[in-house]
Chains A and B, each alone.
Chain A
Amino acid sequence: MATVTVEGFPVRTEFSYDLTHHMWVEELGGERVRVGMDALGLETSGTLAHLMMVEVGTEVARGEPFGSLEAEKYVGPLVAPLSGTVLAVNADAVASPSLVQSDPYGAGWMVELSASDLEGERSGLVSGDEIVTRFAQKVTEYRLEGVLAE
């Protein structure tokens, strides 16, 4: 398990990322994956106030919502990085969204899925050697846009 700091943000290098929607994916074995929000997504969202998730058993498609988030600077959908069936929802995070902020890559996970096309969709995620570079690019982009304070 390796966590590196990129432009001030922690990043778990063994996870894969949808950097557009700031979701991380941890492969748990077989088709089972765990999904959460990365530290950059949390920083640009501000303080989380309210989380809603779909129910266990719901089919979600990659790029479609599996829940919604209300935060200080972001209100909108939580977008699935992979297609699949929801196997578990982190009830602790729903009850206490601050958990997502305090431990985004651990206890603050959001849902677990049985991925329906892990092999096919994995290539759409950022992983391995690309993570640090692409994450740093995203931080720079956000600073230029004013999404992050310079």
Chain B
Amino acid sequence: MTVSTETFDLRRRVFGDVIEFYAPGLKRWETSEWRPANPRRFLPVSVTGTACALQCDHCQANVLKGMISARAADDLYHLARRLWDEGTDGLLISGGSTRSGGVPLARHLAAIARIKRELPMRVVVHSGVVAPEIAEGLAEAGVDGVMLDIIGADETIRDVYHLDLTTADFERSLACLADQGLRIIPHIVIGLHYGRFLGEWTALEMIARHPVSTLILVVLMPLVGTPMAGIDPPPADEVVDFFALARSTMPDTKINLGCGRPMGSMKQELDRGAIDVGLNGIAYPADGAIAYARERGLQPRLYEFCCSLTWAGEGYREVTIR
């Protein structure tokens, strides 16, 4: 595995010695190093419940099962209000995809705007492939950020997502969001093409052409009950090499290792690799990763919110290790 002194030094020059760890309430989680004080501080909401028209080979709606359902347009504000009253101060508004590759957000824009107007909550949305009018609506609603997966291979868009789109449609989505001045938080799913690298390098090039807030790298998690159930993710050393490439390609942009990645020993390897090659932060760090970051001379900061909200650290309570 490559231990890149060069990219580690690069991140220290540009970003200093701080490394950020994140534990949002997307799942119940604790390690011997960190037990979140308020696991409900940042929660995911699905505007389609557990329904997804796309039924891609990667997920087949499995990831929606752990989200809070808010299908009716009127529900979203009231749900947010209730969650705020119960101690939640950030939401990921997500959902299943339409057949055209986007999350059906249009009928929820008024509710999202009301949440932003009346509640002091952070709101990030999963847009998927986004049309200009949705990007405009999201900007008017005042969302804090927009997340979307960027795919850099037409074969992956067709075979895995079953969409009649091309990489140009994903790049246009980035442009639409940028035109509206939205904070863009693109994700690259490493190994999305049935466990192997295909469009990752192109996706990175596409993203680097736009003013993104934070790049989130995640790694294929083959999910039981999907066509990818028996597939191995790419080898950890190749994934870490891609981390290093991303770091050197986008030296001034925050890059985090997001919450989606294989578990067990591979997670340990990926997290150490992410630290070694100079990524800025890690969501749900493997047990021992915080100590390892200290060994590497970094100062850990812990946040109970989504790793996409990298600009919002001052507005959130940093937590201390017990």
Taking Cβ atoms with an 8 Å cutoff, the residues of A that contact B are 44-47, 49-50, 68, 70-77, 98, 145-147, 149-150
Q: Which residues of B contact A68 (CB under 8 A)?
A: 287
The contact size tier of chain B is 20 to 34
Q: Are A149 and B263 in contact (CB under 8 A)?
A: no
A146 to B40, CA, bound (A): 11
What is the total of A-B residue contacts with beta carbons within 8 Å? Answer: 57
Kindly identify which residue among A47, A76, A98, A150 contacts B28, using a CB–CB cutoff of 8 Å.
Answer: A76
Asked if B29 CB lies within 8 Å of chain A CBs, one says yes
New A-B pairs, 8, CB < 8 Å, besides A44-B28, A50-B263, A98-B224: A46-B27, A49-B262, A72-B66, A74-B27, A76-B31, A146-B68, A149-B66, A150-B69
Q: Are B28 and A74 in contact (CB under 8 A)?
A: yes
Q: Are A75 and B31 in contact (CB under 8 A)?
A: yes
Q: Are B30 and A76 in contact (CB under 8 A)?
A: yes
Within the complex, the shortest CB–CB distance from A103 to chain B, in Å, comes to 16
Taking Cβ atoms with an 8 Å cutoff, the residues of B that contact A are 27-31, 40, 43, 49-50, 62, 64-69, 221, 223-224, 262-264, 267, 284, 287
Known: A47-B224, A49-B263, A146-B43. A76 touches B29 (CB 8 A): yes
Within the complex, the shortest CB–CB distance from A75 to chain B, in Å, comes to 4
A interface: dominant SS: mixed
29 contacts between A and B (CB under 8 A): A46-B65, A46-B66, A47-B223, A47-B224, A49-B262, A49-B263, A50-B263, A50-B264, A71-B263, A72-B27, A72-B223, A73-B28, A74-B28, A74-B29, A75-B27, A75-B28, A75-B31, A76-B28, A76-B29, A76-B31, A77-B30, A145-B40, A146-B43, A146-B68, A149-B49, A149-B50, A149-B69, A150-B49, A150-B69
A95 to B27, CA, bound (A): 24
A49 to B66, CA, bound (A): 17
A73 to B224, CA, bound (A): 13
Q: Which residues of B contact A77 (CB under 8 A)?
A: 30
Within the complex, the shortest CB–CB distance from A96 to chain B, in Å, comes to 13
